[in-house]
A = this chain, B = another copy of it.
Amino acid sequence: MDNFSFCTPTRYVFGHEAECKAATLCHEAGWKHVMIVYGGQSAIRSGLLDRVRKSLGDTGITVTELGGVKPNPTDDKVYDGIALGREAGVDALLAVGGGSVIDTAKAIAAGILYEGDFWDFYCGKSTVEKVLPLGVILTIPAAGSEGSGNSVITRLDGLRKLSLRTDTELRPKFACLNPELTYTLPPYQTASGIADMMVHIMERYFTLTEGVEVTDRLCEGLLKAIIAEAPKVMAEPENYDARANIMWSGTLAHNGICGCGRREDWASHFIEHELSALYNVTHGAGLAVITPAWMSYVGERRPAKVAQFARRVFDVTENDDSKAAMEGIRLLREFFHSIGLPVSMKELGIENPDIEKLVGKLHENKGPKIGGYLSLEAKDTEAIFNLAR
């Protein structure tokens, strides 16, 4: 096991009417002027935004609003938010939505107190120090941003999708998680969220670090639970307990508990980021395509952990590591299919992927080598894109 330092100070308020506690949490934190960040029409149509706005007003908090955040969020909205927040003099942010909304709010929280360009944090030119505090009302369980210190933003100029990782600076002060708010999510978005959280666990699971049995077992347990609950939410969108299990899994998948003391991988995410930057596909659906392809490639070359995954998560009984690994990948693809996800670029609607461009962008953005479980150069990532066609 590797050394680690781990701190998750976010307060999780989970359950029925959790969103109703946001105003009190803002008030108790001493926030006076809050910028609500949100996405499209669903938060308006459902009445959620109205309720949040009113409850903040009732506690005497001034509200400024930034709507219209889109999936695969882009830098233009961040610049808008920074300008708006500075002008209005907000002292905190409340993200009402999923990962894109939260990641945008985090970028604004970091950028608003920074003299330079917020993008400096994402391309590694500068380190986050002072940020505005942030709260979350989660409506899409997927990205896990409600419990993480990370944020992913796409730069429109050049289509670079980059992530910023902080220790605790950008972890939300609180996250309100009401599974009922996810009842109306379209099936494809529900399924994509499930793939996203599963791959967040798998990026940490696939490691060469030895002696990490506890964290292996946590990862496997979470994956088994997600695989058991996923068919229930697909069949019965208003099954509270199934929605609750999926929602809580999404947070635990990415708040860091699955990665303590081990080198992580993240190749699948890096590869998928190019796919969604170039073709604007749903991130989780992109992962359902890329991750099994990545597993096939690494499973042929380094089967041990893929075989452990197959045996412990999918109860594969095959003794040979290579065969067990391949069977595990087959079952993973079958599972993704069963909840309505694509497992090839073709199924994702990309008939003729520009693999040369994807590989070029990938290594331009992430360097000549990516991945912790197996180090991948351009020739490897090209093969993986081809396996995913």
Using a CB–CB cutoff of 8 Å, the interface residues on chain A facing chain B are 1-16, 18, 179, 210-218, 220-222, 224-226, 228-229, 240-242, 244-245, 248-249, 252, 257, 260-261
List the 3 closest A-B pairs by CB distance, nearest first: A211-B241, A3-B15, A221-B221
**Closest residue of B by beta carbon distance from A8:** B8
Q: How far is the CB of A15 from chain B (nearest CB, A)?
A: 3
Q: How far is the CB of A250 from chain B (nearest CB, A)?
A: 10
Q: Which of A9, A16, A240 has the most CB of B within 10 A?
A: A9
From B4, B211, B221, B226, give the contact of A14 (CB < 8 A). B4
Residues on the B chain within 8 Å of A5, using CB: 11-14
Contact A248/B214 with A15-B1, A15-B2, A261-B14 known, Cβ cut-off 8 Å? yes
Q: How far is the CA of A221 from the CA of B252 in the complex (A)?
A: 14
Residues on the B chain within 8 Å of A220, using CB: 221
Residues on the B chain within 8 Å of A8, using CB: 8-9
Q: How far is the CA of A199 from the CA of B245 in the complex (A)?
A: 24
Residues on the B chain within 8 Å of A222, using CB: 214, 217-218
Copy total for this chain: 2
Query: Are A15 and B6 in contact, with the CB atoms below 8 A?
Result: no
**Closest residue of B by beta carbon distance from A5:** B13
Query: Are A4 and B9 in contact, with the CB atoms below 8 A?
Result: no
Q: How far is the CA of A11 from the CA of B123 in the complex (A)?
A: 28
Residues on the B chain within 8 Å of A6, using CB: 11-12, 14
Q: How far is the CB of A101 from chain B (nearest CB, A)?
A: 22
**Closest residue of B by beta carbon distance from A9:** B9
Q: A4-B12, A215-B248 known; 8 other A-B pairs, CB under 8 Å? A: A1-B244, A5-B14, A8-B9, A213-B229, A214-B248, A216-B225, A248-B260, A257-B257
**Closest residue of B by beta carbon distance from A244:** B1
Q: How far is the CB of A208 from chain B (nearest CB, A)?
A: 14
From B15, B18, B213, B261, give the contact of A228 (CB < 8 A). B213
Contact A221/B217 with A244-B261, A245-B211 known, Cβ cut-off 8 Å? yes
**Closest residue of B by beta carbon distance from A18:** B3
Query: Are A217 and B224 in contact, with the CB atoms below 8 A?
Result: yes
Residues on the B chain within 8 Å of A240, using CB: 1, 211
Q: How far is the CA of A119 from the CA of B68 in the complex (A)?
A: 55
Q: How far is the CB of A8 from chain B (nearest CB, A)?
A: 6
**Closest residue of B by beta carbon distance from A176:** B5
Q: How far is the CA of A270 from the CA of B163 in the complex (A)?
A: 48
From B9, B15, B212, B245, give the contact of A7 (CB < 8 A). B9
